[in-house]
């Protein structure tokens, strides 16, 4: 997905397959969003979950997307790495839910030294998953905003 620098010094990513765009101050700022959008096309070519309103997405309400990092300390150094990664991936939605967040895209779980990860609580080894999330309140507001025009059209059609 091309990211180009604009005349004002900011950058803009533009999807070649749909009208999705993502502005940013510099490329690294939007890198996770761009990769999430690319992955969504790979998973389901017709599905574009992170979109901005525009041509082809008129009915989509814009919902802010945020970065979220979940960290699990490894208590059992004898546990199999694949088991730790699988458990963290299965727990991600619950962790995000406790923060009133909904996961829209999750990166792969990784084992990292605890000293390199803020929030590790002194653990020698941690599992980390970086994800894109939406606040549940924002999702509910967007759903209400999208439903309002449909309800108005239904009332108008009913007479």
Please list the pLDDT of the chain residue by residue as tens digits (159 residues).
678 888 888 888 887 767 677 788 888 877 777 777 776 665 543 333 444 444 444 444 455 677 888 999 999 888 999 999 999 999 999 999 998 888 888 888 999 998 888 878 889 999 999 888 888 876 656 556 556 666 666 676 676
Confidence (pTM):
0.53
Boundaries of domain holding 33: 3-43
Kindly state whether residue 115 falls inside one of the protein's structural domains.
Answer: yes
DSSP assignment of 55-118 equals: TT-TTPPP---EEEEEEEE---TTS-HHHHHHHHHHHHHHHHHHTTEEEEEE---EEEEGGGST
- Give the count of domains, the chain: 2
Kindly state whether residue 152 falls inside one of the protein's structural domains.
Answer: no
Kindly state whether residue 27 falls inside one of the protein's structural domains.
Answer: yes
Kindly state whether residue 78 falls inside one of the protein's structural domains.
Answer: yes
Kindly state whether residue 12 falls inside one of the protein's structural domains.
Answer: yes
């Amino acid at each position: 997905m091309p990211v180009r620098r604009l005349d004002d010094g900011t950058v803009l990513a533009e999807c070649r397959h749909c009208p999705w765009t993502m502005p940013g101050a510099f490329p690294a700022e939007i890198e996770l969003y761009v990769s999430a959008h690319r992955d969504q096309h790979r998973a389901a070519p017709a599905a574009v979950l992170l979109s901005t309103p525009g041509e082809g997405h008129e009915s989509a309400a814009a919902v802010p997307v945020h970065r979220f990092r979940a960290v699990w300390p490894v208590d059992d150094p004898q546990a199999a790495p694949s088991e730790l990664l699988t458990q963290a991936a299965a727990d991600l939605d619950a962790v995000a839910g406790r923060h009133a967040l909904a996961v829209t895209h999750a990166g792969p779980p990784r084992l990292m030294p605890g000293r390199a990860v803020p929030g590790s609580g002194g653990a020698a080894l941690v599992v980390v998953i970086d994800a894109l999330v939406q606040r549940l309140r924002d999702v509910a507001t967007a759903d209400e905003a999208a439903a309002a025009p449909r309800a108005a059209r239904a009332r108008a059609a009913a007479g």
